[in-house]
Amino acid sequence: MVDIKSISTEQRNKSTKHMDVATTQEILKMINEEDKKVPEAIEAVLEDITKVVDAVTIALSKGGRLFYIGAGTSGRLGVLDASECVPTFGVPENMVIGIIAGGDKALRNAVEGAEDNKEAAIEDLKSYNLTKKDFVIGIAASGRTPYVVSGLEYAKSIGAKTGSITTSVNAPITKIADYPIAAITGPEPLTGSTRMKSGTAQKLILNMISTTAMVKLGKVYENLMIDIQMSNDKLVSRAISIVCEVTGVEEKTAVAYLERFKSVKHAVISILGKIDEVEMIDELLRQNNGNIKEALRSLKA
């Protein structure tokens, strides 16, 4: 049996003990007051998050991949962050990968015993041909989920760098990961329901890791999603707006360049660098690791 009393996220929250007899607004205030503690818990571990981001950036820049592995809420959050990297930053689908115990079925329905299956974690990572160039982040509120622990141990055994995100005190996973993050969020408003404060903290940290790594990899210009994929009407409109914002051209001109190049980044370089050849733009980006500012600066050198 799991020693529940030793897990800080499983402790009773004294501030919400009378939740069952409170009014609707009183319950909401209790939850809101507890949620306010999450950013503070993250602020306390910004140095640790920095180390993870820098290590992830190095791995990705050298052709490695970023894996998130978790069970239940933690696994779902990892899959969510990974899936959003493609349309947001225009990266290949196999660059950031989310793995959840029990497979895709577990995204919607609980899969009995999945989080306790150590062998499944190893098989799941092997199915992606994990290598030492990759970076694996284990996500677990308690920090002791067997599936996640096993996955990290396997990743380390083949030489891959590892990180962890947990919200509980003295979590075993922090002793396994090369780069642990332990944002201690305290007892949940609803005892043991780690989809609440713990899940919020994990989501915020995942946002920070993926977004900052992509910024450092040249996927962002100023604070604009320069590598956005134009996969729906809203994203097409956003792409047009970005080209107009960065270059100062009118909407009609932006549309024409986007129709020609099918890429915000190419359109911007073509307009600002006065370059028409796709091959030349491709080469500029290749030489400057996809960074627009560096590419344009190199034209003036």
Task: Provide the annotated active-site residues.
Answer: 84, 115
Q: What are phi and psi of 138, to 5 degrees?
A: -90, 135
Chain-centre distance of CA 73, in angstroms? 14
Residues 147-168: b if buried by 16+ CB within 10 A, e if exposed: bbbbbbbbbbeeebbbbbbbbb
Q: What is the spatial distance between Cα 210 and Cα 77, in angstroms, rounded to a whole number?
A: 12
126: number of Cβ within 10 Å: 11
Residues 172-191: b if buried by 16+ CB within 10 A, e if exposed: bbbebbbbbbbbbbbbbbbe
List the structure tokens of 170.
Answer: 């003295």
3-state class (DSSP) for residue 180? strand
Enclosing H/E stretch for 96: strand 96-100
Partnered with residue 179 across adjacent β-strands are: 163
For residue 50, with 0-12 CB atoms within 10 Å meaning exposed, 13-18 middle and 19 or more buried, which class applies? middle
List the structure tokens of 67.
Answer: 């894996």
**66-70 and 96-100 strand pairing:** parallel
Enclosing H/E stretch for 28: helix 24-35
